[in-house]
């Protein structure tokens, strides 16, 4: 079980990274509603990856699969890692709310103001940078550093 959750947690990183990258690129290219299908598809993959990442991460840290919650709660690098993840999540809130709104408007055939798309693409790239830092922190933590 421990290996399966660790594998899924790491696999989810790749899926999530790909999804955010793809969504950012789709957002940069979107000119009208016809390009939103690619944005929505990538965003769905990112949502699935984020959910799996959260579930597997919490289960690994606090479900008795790894070193135990005391270890993680007293690890400054783990706290920093979680802070970085929460930063990614906070950056996602505006994007998530807007894309949910756009999905509804798209289904109803309404005109969508796509002006935030470029900003969301930039935010997505920042998220990728932060996720890269999270991976570095995980490697340091796994090797007993800090």
pLDDT digits (tens, 9 = 90+) for 26-85: 999 999 999 999 999 999 999 999 999 999 988 888 887 777 788 888 889 999 999 999
HEC assignment per residue over the chain: CHHHHHHHHHHHHHHHHHHHHHHHHHHHHCCCHHHHHHHHHHHHHHHHHHHHHHHHHHHHHHCCCCCCHHHHHCCHHHHHHHHHHHHHHHHHHHHHHHHHHHHHHHHHCCCCCCCCHHHHHHHHHHHHHHHHHHHHHHHHHHCCCC
User: What percentage of the chain reaches a pLDDT higher than 70?
Assistant: 99
Structural Rg of the chain based on CA atoms: 17
Number of residues written out for the chain: 146
Could you state, in order of their start, the residue ranges of all structural domains in the chain?
A: 2-142
pTM: 0.88
């Amino acid at each position: 079980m421990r290996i399966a959750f660790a594998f899924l947690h790491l696999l989810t990183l790749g899926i999530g990274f790909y999804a955010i990258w793809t969504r950012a690129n789709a957002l940069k290219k979107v000119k009208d509603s016809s390009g939103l299908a690619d944005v929505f598809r990538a965003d769905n993959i990112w949502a699935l990856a984020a959910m799996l990442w959260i579930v597997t991460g919490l289960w690994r840290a606090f479900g008795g699969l790894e070193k135990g919650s005391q270890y993680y709660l007293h690890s400054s690098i783990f706290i920093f890692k979680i802070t970085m993840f929460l930063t990614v999540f906070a950056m996602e809130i505006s994007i998530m709310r807007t894309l949910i709104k756009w999905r509804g408007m798209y289904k109803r055939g309404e005109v969508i103001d796509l002006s935030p798309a470029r900003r969301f693409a930039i935010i997505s790239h920042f998220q990728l940078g932060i996720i890269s830092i999270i991976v570095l922190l995980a490697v340091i933590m796994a090797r007993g550093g800090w």
